Amino acid sequence: MLTYRFKLYKSKNDKYLEAYNNIACEIWNHCIALERRYYRLFGKHQNKYALMKHLTKLKRLPKYAHWKKLNSQAIQNVVERIDRSYKAFFDHVKQKKGGRKSPPHFCKKKNYKSFTLKQTGYVIDGNSAYIMGRRYKLFKSRNIEGAIKTVTVKKMPTGDWYLCVTTDHEAKRNYARTGNSVGMDFGFKDFLVLSDSVKIQSPEYLKQSLSELKRLSRNLSLKTEGSRNYEKVKRQLAKLHEHIASQRRDFFFKLANDLCRKYDIIGIEDLSLKGMQALWGRKESDLAYGEFVQILEYVAASADKKVVKIDRWAPSTKTCSECGCRVELSLKDRTWICPHCGAVHDRDVNAAINIRNLALAA
């Protein structure tokens, strides 16, 4: 499956997309209320097909006649989203997984951001998209390959609308087999340290734009909430955040493609990202190691390369990569000498070599 994302031109028809999105939000809240009432009465989650039939009957009533403006499959998708959320919540509870997991909750219209069409309700013709009969021009940056499965209309915090087109096309990157393997150690001083002693620095785009973010945040706090100036500054702030995220994502894709060209097997650590976020906050968010791992796994899968995660508790840093001797180190010890074999180690490079060895063993 491959998803294309195209930005829509500003149009007077955007008000209809807003109306469709608001109807989807109204149906979401109605279904959440029904689910909660059903659980109070019967102590279980309601069948999604029964809920779909109920909504079909409601559309015949004058009170809910405006729901007919939204495509019937988009309404079904709202129910499917709720069903997936409840199943994920109950699975989390049954399996007693760590962390917090909440059931789906009521949503304000300003926070509901998308609706999805499946077989009907859309036509994509060249640089135009027809959504429920109305034409929208899109920035078509590339041709769509494969059969279209779903089309999701999504509203961004900046107020822009995007078209996310999912197809059955499988993305393939024709990278040659190299026979090389590498281990990568994540750090805050150096973003990635490779087992062949290469150190990769993060551009830290959030840090680069921090002064501008602070200025806009201060400016927003001085505006009256709900006023035109408040909404204007809010959009500017959202646009800056979107720009930072786009820069970071571009860097990650280029780095992931470069790694997959050079190596067939890539070993990484399975780190506790929530714990790191709690300890280092903004720094960890700026480095965004979790997002990079997701992109790396996606690129590797499309290039027929392998990403191997090793156990986060594996003593990769404190183990000598030459003889396997374990030593006690503090965070201040950046280089150390093995007391058993006398090998001199850079802390991060040694950890990366051990990660590579563990990945190959796995």
Residue-wise pLDDT tens digits, 304-335: 999 999 887 888 888 887 787 888 877 777 78
Cα-Cα-Cα-Cα torsion 326, 183, 1, 84, nearest 10 degrees, comes to 20
pLDDT of residue 237: 95
**pLDDT tens string 81-90:** 999 999 999 8
Per DSSP, which regions of 168-272 are E strands? Answer: 181-186, 192-194, 199-200, 265-269
What order do you get walking across the sheet with 192-194 strand by strand? 199-200, 192-194, 181-186, 265-269, 306-310
Nearest by Cα to 164 from 117, 112, 132: 117
**pLDDT tens string 128-178:** 999 999 999 999 888 899 899 999 999 999 999 999 999 998 888 889 999
> Encoding tokens for residue 27?
């149906």
Ordered by start, the domain boundaries in the chain are 2-167, 181-361
Average of pLDDT values for 245-264?
95
What three-state secondary structure class fits 17?
helix
pLDDT of residue 348: 86
pLDDT of 347 over the 90 cut: no
pLDDT of residue 331: 74
pLDDT of residue 327: 82
> Encoding tokens for residue 131?
């959504």
Query: 162 Cβ partners below 8 Å, 6+ apart?
Result: 5, 6, 7, 8, 153, 154, 155, 156
CA distances from 337 to 229, 303, 319 (A): 61, 39, 11
Average pLDDT value for the chain: 90
> Encoding tokens for residue 91?
């699975």
Lowest-pLDDT choice from 60-64, 98-102, 159-163, 250-254:
98-102
Backbone angles phi, psi at 80, to 5 degrees: -65, -40
CA-CA distance, 290 to 34, in Å (whole number)? 36
CA-CA distance, 253 to 275, in Å (whole number)? 25
- Pairing type for strands 181-186 and 192-194 reads antiparallel
pLDDT of residue 49: 93
> Encoding tokens for residue 56?
């079909």
pLDDT of residue 46: 86
**pLDDT tens string 19-63:** 999 999 999 999 999 999 999 999 888 889 999 999 999 999 999
